[in-house]
Amino acid sequence: MDTHDVSNGIDQYFTKVIQQLESVLVSQRQTMVRVADLWTDVIQNDHLIYVFGSGHSRYIAGELYFRAGGLGSVMIINDPSEGLAERVEGYAVNFMGKYDIQPGDALVVVSNSGINPVPIEVALEGKQMGASVVAATSLIHSQQVPSRHSSGQKLYEVADIVLDTMVPEGDAVVELPECGWRVSPISTVISVAMLNAIVAQAACNLAASGKQPPVFISANLPEGDAHNQQVVEKYWRRLTRYPMRQIRSG
């Protein structure tokens, strides 16, 4: 077995990811610009960006919350069941009431399939509370499978703006001809790339308008804690929980 054969899985995955990123950039550029404009308006008007993901999608949502290079105006909505109740209709109302979502806020709901009740109902609850709802989902997958919500709706159908990850049905992309399976999903890397690109554009928009973007920097830099505390001071009163709030009161 030569070196190429040994790394064949690695080469396949990187090729698929790079191709997918290039396709998404072309197809979704204007939608990403639209979402960045929405976030810019939200921040300029001192509102918040909420983000939610159930199951594995909660890791994608977590990419936007309280991290170096991220926006301080982001609040993550936690699924207490960590995805175990994702298919349970009526469950989302049990935790959505804990969040002070207001008209003028934005809500990003991440779900690759977009068919399970919890993310659909989070989007519906967010809209009812007055937020503009952005879905990060795969239309290719979602349009090929039935909704698990009794209304028959899917996430992309209830959102105001849809970020299409264009991830193939089933998510995994590396073929295993010997057994007929596919391995190595791409929804996480594609979704995270799109959302971080929107963070970058929103920050650029704010800077160009003369407003300092509320960006966290690494706490491992000498000035990190002092800078991040200033960002926290601006937003913590409206956030349900915040990792540095205890620093302020201590």
Other CB atoms within 10 Å distance of the CB of residue 158:
22
pLDDT at 78 over 70: yes
Selected residue with higher pLDDT from 92 and 245: 92
Q: Domain locations in the chain?
A: 3-249
- Please identify, in words, the CATH class of the domain defined by 3-249: alpha beta
CA distances 176 to 3, 13, 20, 179, 181, Å, are: 19, 12, 19, 6, 5
pLDDT of residue 154: 98
- pLDDT category at 235 given cuts 50, 70, 90 is confident
pLDDT of residue 245: 43
Helical segments of the chain, H only: 3-6, 8-44, 57-62, 93-96, 117-128, 139-142, 155-158, 187-208, 224-235, 245-249
pLDDT at 83 over 60: yes
pLDDT 10s digits, 125-147: 999 999 999 999 999 999 999 99
pLDDT of residue 177: 87
Name 180's Cβ contacts closer than 8 Å, sequence gap at least 6: none
Give yes or no for a contact between 248 and 229, defined as CB atoms under 8 angstroms apart. yes
